[in-house]
Amino acid sequence: MESVKVGLLGLGTVGGGTANVLQRNADEIARRAGREIQVVCASARDITRSRGCDVDTIRLTTDPMEVVCDPVVEIVVELIGGTTLALELVLKAIEQGKHVVTANKALIALHGNEIFAKANEKGVMVAFEAAVAGGIPIIKAIREGLTGNQINWLAGIINGTGNFILTEMRDKGRAFDDVLKEAQARGYAEADPTFDVEGIDAAHKLAILASIAFGIPLQFEKVFTEGIGNVAREDVVYAEELGYRIKHLGIARKTSQGVELRVHPTLIPEKRLIANVDGVMNAVLVDADAVGPTLYYGAGAGAEPTASAVVADVVDVVRMLTSDPENHVPHLAFQADALTDTTVLPIEAVVTAYYLRLCVDDKPGVLADIARLLADQEISIEALLQKEPAEDKQVVPVIILTQRVVERELNAAIASIEALDSVKGSATKIRLETLK
Ligand code: HSE
């Protein structure tokens, strides 16, 4: 049987990795797919640059549209990133009846609803396993493996760069900027690394996971997003003293009020497996009604881990080339006409526990005042830690862990606490999840 012809858009870190994996494992991949898969052409900004992959048999061009419009190309693999040119290329490929594989989480999170509608009209597949958690087959796991379940919640470390930074800061006391530079050099970080540290990349991925978990349209703009830039070393240390680790989590939870979609630094008990996921590794914990909790772990970024997911998608498409489009696995796990418009809750309506750090005068009655103001909002204290003052200081840090409370009520209590004369500056607030 004739080989399936693939066109690659982008020959950077992931593009090069994909070409390498397809070439190195060509025989095994053909045995699995039932047909040989051949990269016939690829676009790159600079085609004269030497690459980490063999391009002898690949026609190179600087014009990505040439790849999309090449009549022999059946599957277009989009690895250029961004949401402008990438959108144009993907829509053009679909219009021509070509299948698309993409690692572009921003593109899917922002334009997925439109892209999937067009793909359904044309009966083609748009596969995006590599868009979330690099090499971990999390889309397949949720969309197919857990298809018999109602998913209650999921929580994931879904940005490798952020996790690498937090881990190096905690374990080696390294400076933020220095670790970020290393993450960029290793090819983990986004073209704009603020996407990693401010949580935007994780929010893109969370929007995708929530859609396939709950059968809701993609709603990136409703994800509450807080980055890791304000995580202070002292909070990491106090959290550890209390038996917690701080991780940058993406959390999607279905409640009777609606759906919570949030990305923020989170204290989690150190005994949870996910609390021990370090470096560039990603992990997603999914709680579902029939199976209970399941945990998916692996490399969340990097050339070949991401290529592993891209190639798996290409093979999936090859296996379905002759199937009836009506019977393809739906893009967002649920049939397109069965998505629901469940409310996405604002962050003030979210219910979670909290870590608070206050800087207070070292004098009688201060803790009593704080406890009373929390009690006024019916907020129960779960744990309390007060440090002795440093020799030359009259103020001490007080760390409080609360029980679960609606964020609006906690914010009201914090406002009254900050108004006390004995409380200096503003409170540090970090959300806490037990992930039970
Ligand atoms: N910048 C992303 C990360 C790459 O660090 O996780 C994988 O999506």
In tens, the pLDDT along 275-312 reads 999 999 999 999 999 999 999 999 999 999 999 999 99
For residue 60, the CA-to-ligand 1 centroid distance in Å is 26
For residue 160, the CA-to-ligand 1 centroid distance in Å is 5
Asked if residue 129 has its Cβ within 6 Å of ligand 1, the reply is no
Asked if the model's pLDDT at residue 43 lies above 80, the reply is: yes
Asked if the model's pLDDT at residue 173 lies above 90, the reply is: no
Give 323's DSSP letter.
S
Q: What is the pLDDT of residue 112?
A: 98
Residue of 140, 205, 247, 254 with catalytic role: 205
Q: List domains and CATH numbers for the chain.
A: 4-135+303-338 (3.40.50.720), 138-299 (3.30.360.10), 348-432 (3.30.70.260)
Q: What mean pLDDT is predicted for residues 238-248?
A: 96
Asked if residue 159 has its Cβ within 6 Å of ligand 1, the reply is yes
Q: What mean pLDDT is predicted for residues 165-177?
A: 90
Q: What is the pLDDT of residue 62?
A: 97
CA separation for the pair 6, 77 (Å, rounded): 7
In tens, the pLDDT along 371-429 reads 999 999 999 999 999 988 887 788 999 999 999 999 999 999 999 999 999 999 999 99
Asked if the model's pLDDT at residue 145 lies above 80, the reply is: yes
Q: What is the pLDDT of residue 161?
A: 93
Reference 256, options 343, 383, 159, 376; nearest CA is: 343
Between helix 303-320 and helix 26-33 the angle, nearest 10°, is: 30
Asked if the model's pLDDT at residue 330 lies above 90, the reply is: yes
Asked if the model's pLDDT at residue 233 lies above 90, the reply is: no
132 CA closest ligand 1 atom index: 8
Q: What mean pLDDT is predicted for residues 71-87?
A: 97
Q: Are strands 381-386 and 281-288 parallel, antiparallel or unpaired?
A: unpaired
| CA contacts within 13 A on the Cβ side of 223 | 30
205 CA closest ligand 1 atom index: 8
Asked if the model's pLDDT at residue 48 lies above 90, the reply is: no
Asked if residue 298 has its Cβ within 6 Å of ligand 1, the reply is no
Question: Residue whose CA is closest, atom 7 of ligand 1?
Answer: 301
Q: What mean pLDDT is predicted for residues 242-252?
A: 97
Asked if residue 86 has its Cβ within 6 Å of ligand 1, the reply is no
Q: What is the pLDDT of residue 387?
A: 83
Catalytic, 363? Answer no
**Residue 52 banded pLDDT, cuts 50, 70, 90:** confident
Q: What is the pLDDT of residue 276?
A: 97
